[in-house]
A = this chain, B = another copy of it.
Amino acid sequence: MTGWLRIVGLGPGAGRLVTPEAQAVLDQATDAVGYIPYVARLPDRDGLVKHASDNRVELDRAAHALTLAAQGRRVAVVSSGDPGVFAMASAVFEAVETGPPAWRALDIEVLPGITAMLAAAARAGAPLGHDFCAINLSDNLKPWALIERRLRLAAEADFAMAFYNPRSAARPEGFARTLAILRETCADARPVIFARAVSTPDESLRVVPLPDATAGMADMRTVVLIGSSRTRLIRRDGRPPIVYTPRFAG
């Protein structure tokens, strides 16, 4: 058996958002490797071994997956959303670069998925319809000073912004600081979208003006979007407003 490794994006949660390409690989894999809740999404079947691991062990998990593929297994490394956006693809390539030279000869592909910010944006309207940026607020991975610098430059550039990992139990204060910086640099009432668990039964969506946004509105399952200075609200009777950023600027 010739092994391979596929880094698979499962999308934000619902089966209807898993691409046929991803599903085909999941059907052919002998091994599924990933963070516990993502591996749990896959139905059990004969011939599939599940390897679920805890958060924050991404490099160990990547090395394990590469080892299995080198042994001839057909390995699906599963990520929520898109594996290339704050997920497992970079971890696998870090492991390839620093691992045994033979790993570079492995058959490795990344299969894209619907990333959380785009699922959230679709639910809200089109808040990312003009230039935007995506920032991972986890300061496990970089110093807070760099996050702050990026926030200030992104506001100056008038990007709409998407924030991944806004808040965790280990660092509750970071997102409050993010909101404080945005209030200072944006100085307006542009909409902030808190989109939680989009496409799952736990989905919720909340739109508040920036001055009213608080850190407690986000948890580990939330992606947060904020408009640019141009972002608009369309109010509707009895339904949430539509949030969209016009295509034109200037």
Q: How many identical subunits does the complex contain? A: 2
* A70 shortest CB reach to chain B, Å: 15
A123 engages B110 (CB within 8 Å): yes
Given contacts A121-B112, A141-B247, A142-B248, contact A129 B16 (CB under 8 A): no
- The reply to whether B20 and A24 form a contact with Cβ atoms under 8 Å apart is no
Binary B-proximity of A222-250 (CB < 8 A = 1, otherwise 0): 00000000001011110000101111111
A84 close to B118 (CB less than 8 A): yes
Please, which residue of chain B has its CB at the minimum distance from the CB of A115?
A: B118
In the bound complex, CA of A123 to CA of B135 (Å): 22
Q: Is the CB of B19 within 8 A of A248?
A: no
Q: Within the assembled complex, what's the spacing in Å between the Cα atoms of A91 and B125?
A: 11
* A249–B122 touching, CB < 8 Å: no
Q: Judge whether A156 is part of the interface by a CB distance below 8 angstroms.
A: yes
What 3 pairs across the A-B complex have the smallest Cβ distances? A90-B129, A89-B126, A133-B133
Query: Given A104-B234, A130-B136, A132-B134, list of 18 further CB < 8 A pairs?
Result: A14-B21, A84-B122, A86-B129, A89-B122, A89-B125, A89-B129, A90-B129, A90-B245, A90-B247, A94-B246, A104-B236, A110-B122, A131-B134, A131-B150, A133-B154, A133-B159, A141-B249, A146-B250
